[in-house]
Structure 1
Amino acid sequence: MNPKNLSTPARPELVEGQLQASTSSARTVLGVSSSPLLTRKAWTAFLVCLLAVGVLAPVLNLWVPAGSALHLSDYAIALIGKIMCYAICALAMDLIWGYTGILSLGHGLFFALGGYVMGMYLMRQIGRDGQYQSDLPDFMVFLDWKELPWHWALSDSFVATVLLVVLVPGVIAGVFGFFAFRSRIKGVYFSIITQAMTFAAMLLFFRNETGFGGNNGFTDF
């Protein structure tokens, strides 16, 4: 055997460099960023803003007199809450699409699940101050419900509500993601399935017998 015909073994550092280059190219093609989510300064600014919104805004609403220039009205608090909710939804889309390259059209479902859980708690806090002065939410009285359905059992507890806001969407997303990625569903097929799942959940929630107010929601009764 001619020694000249033997291939020279590749050096480990060259192989590692080629693997890193190919991985970087693949991530670029998929639109996946390898940079950190935020820099240290950006994280600091984010935490400061979050602290200001989460702590300072309620203080300015509850403890500062209404005539003061620093007072935040109830409308402003509700508006800040809506902005924060939509920011969470936008951040979730940025994480899964911008950092993993996976286009999910099912985030409306997970966003709605958390919203419904919190809405159930708020409806229970109304108590007998509703239009029908009943222990049941107004829409249930309107639909001739006699008692709360089973999935409203923990809706009067704030601690349970906070936990369920995270756990309910998280568990459903985890189960769906397990079977979807185990089946190697990706690309446009993943987007179509997540959109179909959201549409199916919408049809389920819009039914009056599910205990979620039908297509009218929890209010306007």
Structure 2
Amino acid sequence: MSTVVTSKDASVAPLPPGRPSWRARLQGPAVFTAVAVLALVVAPLVLEPFRLGLLAKYLVYAIVALGIGLAWGQGGMLVLGQGVFFGLGGYAMGMYLKLTEAQGGLPDFMVWSGVEELPALWAPFANPVFALAMAVVAPVVVAALLGALVFRQRVRGAYFAILTQALAAAFVILLVGQQGLTGGTNGLTNFFELFGQDLALDSTQRGLYFVVAVVLGLLYLGARQLVNSRFGRLLVAVRDGEDRVRFLGYNPATVKTVTFAISAGMAGLAGALFVPVVGIISPALLGVVPSLELVVAVAVGGRFALAGAVLGAVVMNYAKTVFSEELSSAWLYLQGALFILVMTLAPKGIIGLLRRRKEAAG
């Protein structure tokens, strides 16, 4: 397959082998529709509330994985610190919920910590619009600033991955050390109400599941549209040959910064959804290990396909639940074995294996 670039305005993408058939063009929408029906209609009917809540958690992680797939799979940026952006979104939502329950007073953990006055940082989060906005805006701003500083210096590859990993470690240390401000090691817990709805009710959790599923579907469609756009083709070109793209007159730093910020925004939104679904946000959920687990999930599903990132997150977290329930002392080994097995038999993940079998059958 050849690549043709004649000028700065030319498309930096492989020439397609030909116009796809109508069956090929309908295959993607048909699969998406089938998955949407399965998630929005079948799952709520057949799953008990507890299992439906677990599926909602898996879909929240799939939103983070979707951002990783966009940044890593399409852009070549191995991000090992998405827990930072997930945490920023989660704590923004958690702060709002704690202030709502405090009803003008101090959150319970502040009382236990000896805090006598509500910190100025917390005050604006009493407004739900501000809290929801900051759950996305804060991660995007942090990622954009970091990207602008790092990518202009042409930091990439393993160096960028280590930098994001170090950022996640530092973020956890900061949260743990601010007991009176963040809840310390325990984080923010004991959430009882969301927008006037009791979080303990099955109907509320069912409604949250629908919200998470719809948000994931919309973000997937948006990410797919972005990948298929001119910007997406340029992003793939930066992944495959950053220096070449720079010589053609484009600025890879800008492309990578925008993509990194979008992936961070997805992680922040996922964090905001995670808090009412699971009922906790703590440093233990945001560190290096949770961030690495998400990257592993994307690799298992297939990092070069957005659907693979989503599938990998659901499969790996489901496997984690099953293994931990059945073999509590050995589930980590089984999860690692699953990763090794998939990577050995299918280096491009589950999606790559399915595509290879389809090509062999066709």
TM-score range, shorter chain: 0.5 to 0.7
Alpha carbons of structure 1 residues 151 and 189: separation in structure 2 relative to 1, 3 Å: same
Q: What SS does the aligned partner of 1:112 have?
A: helix
- The residue aligned with 1:33 is none
Greater C-alpha Rg: 1
SS of the aligned residue for 1:82 comes to helix
What are the ranges of 5 or more consecutive residues in structure 1 without an aligned counterpart?
1-13, 25-37, 61-68, 129-133
Partner of 1:112: 87
Taking the aligned partners of 1:158 and 1:72, their CA distance within structure 2 comes to 30
**Alpha-carbon distance in structure 1 between the residues aligned to 2:3 and 2:76:** 26
Cα 1:194/1:78, change in 2 over 3 Å: same
Residue by residue, what CA displacement relative to the aligned partner does 1:171-209 show, whole Å, maximum 9, x if unpaired? 101110111111110000000111111111111111135
1:64 aligns with: none
17 and 213 in structure 1: CA distance in 2 versus 1, 3 angstrom threshold: closer
Structure with greater helix share of residues? 2
* Aligned counterparts of 2:178 and 2:68: Cα–Cα separation in 1: 30
With normalisation by structure 2, the TM-score equals 0.41
Instruction: Choose the corresponding residue for 2:64, options 89, 101, 110.
Output: 89
Matched with 1:149 is 119
Which of 178, 182, 186 is the matching residue for 1:212?
Answer: 182
Match of 1:201 in 2: 171
Distance 1:155-1:202 versus aligned 2 partners, 3 A rule: same
Change (3 A) 1:79 1:157: farther
Name the amino acid aligned to 1:199. Answer: A
Q: Does 1:174 align with 2:138?
A: no
Q: Which residue of 2 aligns with 1:191?
A: 161
Q: Decide which of 84, 108, 112 is 1:138's aligned counterpart.
A: 108
Aligned to 1:101: 76
Distance 1:143 1:177 in 2: 36
Aligned length: 174
Aligned match for 1:158, one of 128, 142, 152: 128
Q: 1:25-48 CA deviation, whole Å, 9 max, x = no partner?
A: xxxxxxxxxxxxx94445555666
Identity %: 37
Amino acid of the structure 1 residue aligned with 2:86: F
| SS state at 2:121 partner | helix
Matches within 5 A, 1:24-43: 39-42=28-31
- The one-character-per-residue Cα deviations of 1:8-63 (angstroms, maximum 9, x if unpaired) are xxxxxx9947999x975xxxxxxxxxxxxx9444555566678x38xx99xx8xxx
Distance 1:77 1:49, change over 3 A: same
Quote the Cα distance in structure 2 between the aligned partners of 1:16 and 1:81.
44
**Cα separation, 2, equivalents of 1:145 and 1:92:** 37
Distance in 1, matches of 2:188 and 2:5, equals 58
Deviation for aligned residue 1:117: 0.8
The whole-number CA distance in structure 1 between the counterparts of 2:156 and 2:136 is 25
Q: 1:122 to 1:15 in 2, by over 3 A?
A: closer
Q: What is the DSSP-based 3-state SS (H/G/I as helix, E as strand, rest coil) of the residue aligned with 1:150? A: coil
Q: Secondary structure at the match of 2:90?
A: helix
Secondary structure at the residue paired with 1:211?
helix
SS in 1 for 2:125: coil
Counterpart of 2:99 in structure 1 is 124
Partner amino acid, structure 2, of 1:95:
L
